[in-house]
Amino acid sequence: MFDDTKSTERVMADDDIKITAKGVDVFYDKTHAIKNVDVDIQNRAVTAFIGPSGCGKSTFLRCLNRMNDTIDICRVTGDIHLDGNDIYAKDVDPVQLRARVGMVFQKPNPFPKSIYDNVAYGPKIHGLAKNKAELDEIVEKSLTRAAIWNEVKDRLDAPGTSLSGGQQQRLCIGRAIATAPEVLLMDEPCSALDPIATAQVEELIDELRQDFTVVIVTHSMQQAARVSQKTAFFHLGDLVEYGETDKIFTNPVDPRTESYITGRIG
Amino acid sequence: MFGLTLIAVAALGIVFYASARSRAVSLAGDNQQALHSRPNYHGFLAFLVSILAGVAVLVVVWTAWGSFIESRFIAHILEAQPELSPIEVELVLNDARAIAEGGIASRTDALRTQIATEIGSQTQLHHYGTMALALLAAALGGLWCLKSAHLGWRARNRSETVVRRLLLLMAAIAVATTAGIVLSLIFETLNFFNNIDWQIHKFLFGTTWSPLSGVQAGKLDPEKVGAIPLFAGTLLITIIAMLVATPIGLFAAIYLSDFASARVRAWAKPMLEILAGIPTVVYGFFAAITLAPFLRNSGEAVGLSIASESALAAGIVMGIMIIPFISSLSDDVINAVPQSLRDGSYGLGATKAETIRQVVLPAALPGIVSAVLLGISRAVGETMIVVMAAGQGANLTANPLEAVTTVTVQIVMLITGDTEASTAAGPAFTLGFTLFLITLLMNVVAQRIVRKYRETYE
């Protein structure tokens, strides 16, 4: 699954696809939230989902690690393959899937535990560390990757909720990295943050694509333009346009995309 | 008569409401905006002032006049027959009242008939006089409002002040009642300690409880007021009850909040709450008539001797009674843990069990602890179940299969027993005060825990 030779290879090939979605439909009860969406998500790149509120971009994101399973009335049809394997197949355990496809949420949601335990939570439940020393190392590495280690290394025992909003969000990103996922899903990770914290998280996202496949949902078109290589524009449950970020923002094909990025609808 | 006067005052108030309102309208004429207060406030103020004046006069004059004429009757009776004791005077007065109202008296004699005629005339005067005064006061209050009204009359501000003072009065009544109860507990407790020559340690640490045996002239034997068996019994039953209620209540809450489908939840939660609505007296006879004999018989079958009134039976049933408290409160706090925390945990690949054990329960813990402490307060203060199922003898034991007694049971025994109230009240009030202190302490601790460890989630 995790091929070490790839991490040195920085050339992005278009056929290096991590996730393939084909004909995905999502229903909340009777509401048709996602309509026949096809997307190929590139490995080790940042893919941004943009679109107006209620367009289904978050719903679609949550299909990628089967988070929608936790909502009773939600029904997903179609094919989603991770590394060629159907993640909605009967024998796939969503719990194991989510260990490979991590998620960071809109609002920072640190657990009511210490900073250390917040990060150690995932490695502990998945048995990633054989002893305390290894766990310490994972925690330090994850927090360093999340660009927050220097701020919290002296108070790892403090509750995670005592941090500021931006720090909490980076803690949550560190927590997600600690379980060593292959894909990181981010659902509007900066919407509750101020501009400085947003800049820090964006910088972090850009670094993370060296090791992870990142999919980010965002309201902010500037953010999508800054951090992503690929952009998908959703509107009213349809995937309107999907392609290279540069192309979407400079030369969109669909008139709806153009209206949205120029601010006429939204 | 009192009620009739009240109705008359209220009717007068409504009349003043209407007239003050229409006076305000006519004062303003074409320019309604010239009025400082809307006409409704003019009316409302007149209504309030007239009613409050009327009711105040009614209550004060009625009681003052009534006690004045009563003291005159008593003086008359004592004048005629100075040798009567206060209780006999009371009897004569009651008989005279019965004669005056055409009822049946225990005896009819010259004095009684004379007093009866006096009562007849005086009472009529009392009633009609009070009514007239009350209506006069209401009318004066209302007229004062009508007369004072002008364009700049601040009827709204004034009526709001009146309402605010009324609310203050109600709050003061509630607080004063609480303070009065606590004070009376404290004084009776001090009185009791005085009766046992201030040997408080004998009450707190003594092991023999039989306060009323050999009591003469209100003097209690300090050797027989040891409350330890009562505290021990209360503690034993409370522990058994919490051992039953905490796991069942908590696990039920976890099931309801995180596992049950919406349909199951929709009927299971109300069912649990019905359990909380069953009167404790029903639990009590369930314990005494159903569970206790069952326990005794099953005990016999395995060679255990279980008393027919046992701490075990009372504790189990009390635990059942407390289940809905724990489950309902815990369910609320578990539900209050934000979905985002659960999502965060699921997003890391945690299972439902891991999420609940390591994220949801720690987040909800302060609330759960306070639910348990509230449950303990209930258990400590519970009376009917233990009266029926736990036993009455002050028996110092840690064996749940034997009969024990509790603080509340002994209070019931003391107050409903045939010892005169003044003697029995001392130990009863002291036990009540102790119970009050324990429950208060528990509630304070529960609140502090909640406040200290509460995580604030938006």
- pLDDT tens-digit profile, chain A (266 residues): 444 444 434 444 556 899 999 999 999 988 999 999 999 999 999 999 999 888 889 999 999 999 998 888 999 999 999 999 999 999 999 999 999 999 999 989 999 899 999 999 999 999 999 999 999 999 999 999 888 999 999 999 999 989 998 899 999 999 999 999 999 999 999 988 888 888 988 999 999 999 899 999 998 888 999 999 999 999 999 999 999 999 999 999 999 999 998 887 65
Q: For B271-290, what is the mean pLDDT?
A: 90
Residue A2 falls within a domain, yes or no? no
Q: What percent of chain B has pLDDT over 90?
A: 56
For the ranges B9-23, B260-274, B373-387, B444-458, which has the lowest average pLDDT? B444-458
Give yes or no for A65 touching B (CB within 8 A). yes
Q: Which domain covers residue A36, as residue numbers?
A: 16-261
Min Cα–Cα distance to chain B from A220, Å: 22
In whole angstroms, what is the distance from residue A61 CA to residue A67 CA? 9
Would the pLDDT of B453 be above 80?
Answer: no
Min Cα–Cα distance to chain A from B349, Å: 4
pLDDT of the residue at B346 = 93
Q: What percent of chain B has pLDDT over 70?
A: 97
In whole angstroms, what is the distance from residue B342 CA to residue B327 CA? 20
Residue B408 tokens, joined:
């509340």
Strand partners, A244: A230
* Domain boundaries, given as residue ranges, for chain B: 2-182, 222-453
Do the chains contact at B343 and A111, CB–CB below 8 Å? no
pLDDT of the residue at B458 = 40
B168-194 pLDDT, tens digit per residue, is: 999 999 999 999 999 999 999 998 998
Q: B366 to chain A: nearest residue by CA?
A: A112
Q: Which residues of B198-208 are buried (b: 16+ CB within 10 A; e: fewer)?
A: eeeebbeebeb
Give yes or no for A126 touching B (CB within 8 A). yes
For the ranges B54-58, B110-114, B138-142, B359-363, which has the lowest average pLDDT? B110-114
Q: For B258-278, what is the mean pLDDT?
A: 89
B78-109 pLDDT, tens digit per residue, is: 888 888 888 888 888 888 888 888 888 888 88
Strand partners, B209: B225
Q: Which residues of B touch A126 (CB under 8 A)?
A: 349
Give yes or no for A88 touching B (CB within 8 A). no
**Among B257, B258, B348, B458, which would you mutate to test the A interface (most chain A Cβ atoms within 10 Å of its Cβ)?**
B348
Identify whether the C-beta of residue A120 lies closer than 8 Å to the C-beta of residue A139.
yes
Residue with tokens 């840690």: B398
Q: For B416-436, what is the mean pLDDT?
A: 86
Mention every residue, 6+ apart, whose C-beta is less than 8 A from residue B216. none
Number of structural domains found in chain A = 1
Give yes or no for A97 touching B (CB within 8 A). yes
Query: Between A100, A111, A185, which is nearest B344 by CB?
Result: A111
Give yes or no for A204 touching B (CB within 8 A). no
Q: Which residues of B touch A104 (CB under 8 A)?
A: 347
Identify whether the C-beta of residue B47 lies closer than 8 Å to the C-beta of residue B13.
yes
Do the chains contact at A126 and B262, CB–CB below 8 Å? no
With left for phi above 0 and alpha for psi between -120 and 50, is residue B260 left, alpha or beta? beta
How high does pLDDT run on average in chain B? 90
Residue B445 tokens, joined:
């601790």
Q: Is B96 exposed, middle or buried (0-12, 13-18, 19+ CB in 10 A)?
A: buried
pLDDT of the residue at B34 = 87
Do the chains contact at A109 and B362, CB–CB below 8 Å? no
pLDDT of the residue at B455 = 55
Distance separating the N- and C-terminal Cα atoms of chain B: 58
Quick count: other Cβ atoms within 10 Å of Cβ B107? Answer: 10
Q: For B268-277, what is the mean pLDDT?
A: 87
* Beta-carbon contacts below 8 Å between A and B: 78
Give yes or no for A189 touching B (CB within 8 A). no
Q: What is the DSSP letter of B209?
A: B
Min Cα–Cα distance to chain B from A183, Å: 12
Higher-confidence residue of B454 and A6: namely: B454
Residue A227 falls within a domain, yes or no? yes
Do the chains contact at A121 and B340, CB–CB below 8 Å? no
B interface with A, Cβ–Cβ < 8 A, is 261-262, 338, 340-351, 354, 358-359, 362-363, 455, 458
Query: Between A99, A111, A172, which is nearest B359 by CB?
Result: A111
The predicted model scores a pTM of 0.77
Q: Which residues of B touch A103 (CB under 8 A)?
A: 343-344, 347-348
**Among A121, A138, A168, which would you mutate to test the B interface (most chain B Cβ atoms within 10 Å of its Cβ)?**
A121
Rounded to 10 deg, the angle between the B155-195 and B421-453 helix axes is 120
Residue A81 falls within a domain, yes or no? yes
The residues in A 105-124 lying below 8 A from B, measured between CB atoms, are: 105, 107, 109-113, 121-122
CATH of the domain at A41: 3.40.50.300
Query: Between A112, A113, A125, which is nearest B350 by CB?
Result: A125
In whole angstroms, what is the distance from residue A34 CA to residue A64 CA? 13
Q: Which residues of B touch A70 (CB under 8 A)?
A: 342-343, 346
In whole angstroms, what is the distance from residue B265 CA to residue A159 CA? 33
pLDDT of the residue at A3 = 46
Min Cα–Cα distance to chain A from B267, Å: 18
Q: Which residues of A touch B262 (CB under 8 A)?
A: 72
Would the pLDDT of B27 be above 80?
Answer: yes
Determine the longest span between alpha carbons in chain A, in angstroms: 57
In whole angstroms, what is the distance from residue B228 CA to residue B314 CA? 19
Q: What is the DSSP letter of B34?
A: G
Min Cα–Cα distance to chain B from A254, Å: 34
Consecutive H or E run containing B193: helix B155-195
pLDDT of the residue at B307 = 86
Which has the closest alpha carbon to B224: B237, B213, B235?
B213
Query: Between B261, B349, B362, which is nearest A126 by CB?
Result: B349
pLDDT of the residue at A11 = 44
Q: Domain B222-453: what homologous superfamily?
A: MetI-like (1.10.3720.10)
